[in-house]
Amino acid sequence: MLALEDLTEMLKGILEGCVLEIISRKETYGYEIVKKLNSLGFEDVVEGTVYTILLRLEKNKLVNIQKKPSKIGPPRKFYTLNEAGRNQLQTFWRKWDFIASKINELKENKDGN
Amino acid sequence: MLALEDLTEMLKGILEGCVLEIISRKETYGYEIVKKLNSLGFEDVVEGTVYTILLRLEKNKLVNIQKKPSKIGPPRKFYTLNEAGRNQLQTFWRKWDFIASKINELKENKDGN
DNA sequence: ACATCTATATAGTATTACTAGGTAGATGGT
DNA sequence: ACCATCTACCTAGTAATACTATATAGATGT
């Protein structure tokens, strides 16, 4: 993997949406979400970052939470999206599609309009 | 245009790149950049935002600046990219392409990987 | 004299991802 | 018994960025 520089600033407002999307797929928990993001390509995303997002989602009442024991470590907090969470996820993708299309428009428009 | 909500957070780390790209096309100034961004679709981007970015670019020595009088208002500060600015722009697009591809991968992968 | 458009600047705010720690359960090796 | 390691969660403080709100000022038209 080519060493790409810091993506921190560009992930703002995007990481939370990614977490929502991952949770929407199947009931999951923080540690697993971190691994998922890492394997997706966001290798520098660490636990502290994801846990703050998860606590924010909880505070904003976008998720349901269920604690379950694990056989290989401490208990896990499993997250699922509630109705508000699914709405938020939809909103995220609408924003993403909008921004991505506009940015690509700017990028391709090399002639300069 | 459908009223799309606040894009602020998702623009973090992206707006500066857009400004760099716009400057790279042709010598231009703040007020004109604002109008360009607005017409691109980022209608809520206001002057204060762009001027802080431009002052940051200047501070980081990514631009050359030339002040010129205007016939229809106060003098304009015209910006062009220097070598460092062009490098920064290239870096921005590399980051963007990386993130956009990963996000779209996540988005399309509805089966769950 | 006033409004409007053009044009730049800046102090303060909110939000977000990250840093840098800490706590703790389970397993395996020495 | 001790320690390292992996799993799993939490949190106080920091840095960076876009935005809010406001100020200043030149030029034009009424």
For residue B59, the domain's CATH number is 1.10.10.10
Summary mean pLDDT of chain A: 93
- Say how many CA atoms lie within 13 Å of B19 toward its Cβ: 30
User: For residue A35, what are the domain limits?
Assistant: 27-92
List, for residues B30-72, the tens digit of each pLDDT value: 999 999 999 999 999 999 999 999 999 999 999 999 999 999 9
Q: Does the residue B54 lie in any domain?
A: yes
Q: Does the residue B107 lie in any domain?
A: no
Q: How many domains does chain B fold into?
A: 1
Per-residue pLDDT band at A5 (split at 50, 70, 90): confident
Q: Is the CB of B7 under 7 A from strand D?
A: yes
Find chain B residues with C-beta within 8 A of A10's C-beta: 12-14, 95-96, 99
Q: What is the mean pLDDT of residues B99-113?
A: 84
Q: Does the residue B109 lie in any domain?
A: no
Q: Is the CB of A105 under 7 A from strand C?
A: no
Is A2 a residue whose pLDDT tops 60?
Answer: no
**CA A8 to chain CA mean position, Å:** 13
List, for residues A51-90, the tens digit of each pLDDT value: 999 999 999 999 999 999 999 999 999 999 999 999 999 9
